Chain A
Amino acid sequence: MNKTAVDTERQRSEFLAAYQLIEKDLIRLSRRLCLGNEDRAQDLVQDTVVKAYVAVSDGKFDRDTAKAWFMRILTNLFINDYRRRKKWDADVDLDTLTSFGEAGPECSRADKRDVPGVYLLEHTLDEELERALASLSEPLRVTVTLVDMQGLEYGEAAAVLGLPIGTIRSRLARARMQLHDLLQEFAKQRGINLPSYGSKK
């Protein structure tokens, strides 16, 4: 084996090792962006891996920032290519995103049960939260997915989306206000009344 072939093989195994560490995160992110459509989500990850490998070959790979880097490629591919097709918003497959009928996590139920904001989320079903997320406009949904679900800092999300931090900040606020309105509406439809402040005083 000549030197180039050895270098290529080493580079490839380093790349695949980095990919394997974050494969689950990438698939989850992709499913969210593609609103649970498994085929499109798999397409997007497949294209991301290939595009990322081309960049690796050009020497643009840093193992320390691999996760943000892969996410950036995936999000940009989604924005540039998948949005253009305008197919992705047709059907939301909630079953691939959540288990129907599940309520909020046990850990969030321990304290402050009478605080309206906590109470509302405790009584929100996962399916309702998924539905509310899916109804956000694409820019808001992508921002919430990156920051609140994938745990990116504002600066990282700004770099991924190529936007100023202020835009990330305002998109998040708008998304959260819209989620608030939708979740309140869902609660009202199910006859859930929020406790009022001062009711225990």
Chain B
Amino acid sequence: MKKFDPTDLKPCSHMRVLVSAHVDTMLPGVAEWYTKQHIKGCVQCQASLPFLSSLKDRLKVLDANSDGGALTEERLMAVENDLNKIDGQKTDH
């Protein structure tokens, strides 16, 4: 365990993959247990958790706030032509 640096919000270097996946609740049993045990005793990894979960939330909101939009009319017509061709080939056979 490295010395705690309050300005560094990253987990210990050897635990980064595990702590990051722990935040996503994507670790299998033993790895999750091991990671939890480490976090309990490691101030650095504890300090990284709020950043990692806030980052995840923030990215989700950032994407949700961006306008999805739709294909332009011109492209929809191009798609329709292509689909007609595909269907035409099918009925020809």
Q: Which residues from chain A sit less than 8 Å from chain B, CB to CB?
A: 4-5, 8, 12, 23-25, 27-28, 31-32, 42, 45-46, 49-50, 53-54, 57, 97-99, 102, 104-105, 107-108, 112, 115-118, 120-122, 124, 126, 129-130, 133, 144-145, 147-151, 153-154, 169-170, 172-174, 176-177, 179-180, 184, 194, 196-198
Are A172 and B21 interface neighbours, CB within 8 A?
Answer: yes
Q: Give the chain A neighbours of B82 by CB distance below 8 A.
A: 50, 53
Q: Give the chain A neighbours of B21 by CB distance below 8 A.
A: 154, 169, 172-173
Chain A interface helix/strand/loop/mixed? helix
**CA separation between A149 and B58, bound complex, in Å?**
9
> Could you pull out 22 A-B pairs where Cβ atoms are within 8 angstroms?
A12-B87, A28-B63, A28-B68, A31-B66, A42-B71, A45-B71, A50-B79, A105-B58, A116-B9, A116-B47, A117-B9, A117-B48, A117-B52, A118-B51, A144-B59, A153-B26, A154-B24, A169-B17, A184-B9, A194-B9, A197-B43, A198-B6
State whether the Cβ of B40 lies closer than 8 Å to any Cβ in chain A. Answer: no
Closest chain B residue, CB of each to CB of A196 = B6
> Considering the complex, which residues of chain B in the window 49-93 have a beta carbon less than 8 Å from any beta carbon of chain A?
49-52, 54-63, 65-72, 75, 78-79, 82-83, 86-87, 90-91
